[in-house]
């Protein structure tokens, strides 16, 4: 499997606009200041409403299938990065973090217009993903990645972890996800 795969325009501008507009009203999961991997990252995240979680799950299932990774559950949040915010090099599934052991695939979908912020590049396995608005990049949860510091503006992303849980019910998603069905990577291995 390549380090990452990119799908362009998974979300249209109106869907991105709805998520960006709704974000301030959604309940915060936390405002995190996390020390680790050498620097501090501060960011606010929120769980999107059910209609967006359903889409996040459908994308996770389709991405997992495209990358030959099993998915039958999802964790998702919208994350805001402002000036000075970053997320240093890490993996979303690590042996010393048991709460991550069921993560198989990670993805990040850019909701903001890249013209609205500076910096904030998503670097996967050392490569800049160069995301446009509505673009998605997916990778194994064991892949090293980071978000470079945002130097101006605001970067909002939908992040999700496709999970494999033995106790979860079978997946019945039929692939009929508007605008994302039949995903084929636009870029393999970036």
What is the spatial distance between Cα 56 and Cα 44, in angstroms, rounded to a whole number? 19
In the prediction, which pLDDT does 183 show?
44
β-pair type (150-153, 117-119) = antiparallel
Q: Which residue has the tokens 């990645």?
A: 145
Q: Which residue has the tokens 């670097």?
A: 123
Number of other residues whose CB lies within 10 A of the CB of residue 35: 9
What is the spatial distance between Cα 97 and Cα 161, in angstroms, rounded to a whole number? 15
Note the pLDDT tens digit of each residue in 98-147: 777 888 899 999 999 999 999 999 999 999 999 999 999 999 999 999 99
Helix (H, G, I), strand (E, B) or coil at 28: strand
Where does the pLDDT of residue 189 fall: very low under 50, low under 70, confident under 90, or very high at 90 and above?
A: low
Burial status of residue 36 (CB atoms within 10 A of its CB: 0-12, 13-18, 19 or more): exposed
Please determine, looking at this structure, whether the domain spanning 5-166 carries the CATH number 1.10.10.10. Answer: no
Note the pLDDT tens digit of each residue in 128-142: 999 999 999 999 999
Note the pLDDT tens digit of each residue in 155-176: 999 999 888 865 544 444 333 3
Give the mean pLDDT of 39-45. 60
Angle at 94 between CA 58 and CA 135, to 5 degrees: 35
pTM of the model: 0.82
- Mean pLDDT, the chain, rounded, equals 80
Break the chain into its structural domains and give their ranges: 5-166
């Amino acid at each position: 499997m390549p380090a990452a795969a990119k799908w362009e325009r998974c979300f249209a501008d109106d869907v991105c606009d709805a998520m960006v507009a709704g974000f301030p009203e959604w309940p915060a999961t936390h405002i995190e200041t996390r020390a680790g991997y050498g620097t501090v990252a501060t960011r606010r995240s929120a769980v999107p409403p059910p209609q967006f979680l359903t889409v996040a799950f459908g994308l996770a299932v389709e991405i997992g299938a495209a990358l030959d990774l099993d998915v039958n559950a999802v964790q998702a949040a919208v994350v805001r990065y402002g000036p000075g915010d970053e997320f240093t090099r890490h993996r979303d599934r690590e042996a010393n973090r048991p709460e991550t052991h069921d993560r198989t695939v990670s993805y990040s979908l850019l909701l903001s217009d890249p013209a609205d912020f500076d910096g904030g590049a998503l670097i996967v396995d050392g490569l800049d993903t160069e995301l446009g608005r509505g673009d998605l990049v997916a990778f194994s949860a064991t892949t090293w990645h980071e978000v470079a510091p945002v130097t101006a503006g605001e970067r909002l992303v939908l992040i999700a972890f496709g999970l494999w849980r033995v106790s979860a019910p079978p997946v019945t998603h039929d692939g009929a996800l508007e605008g994302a069905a039949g995903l084929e990577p636009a870029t393999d291995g970036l």
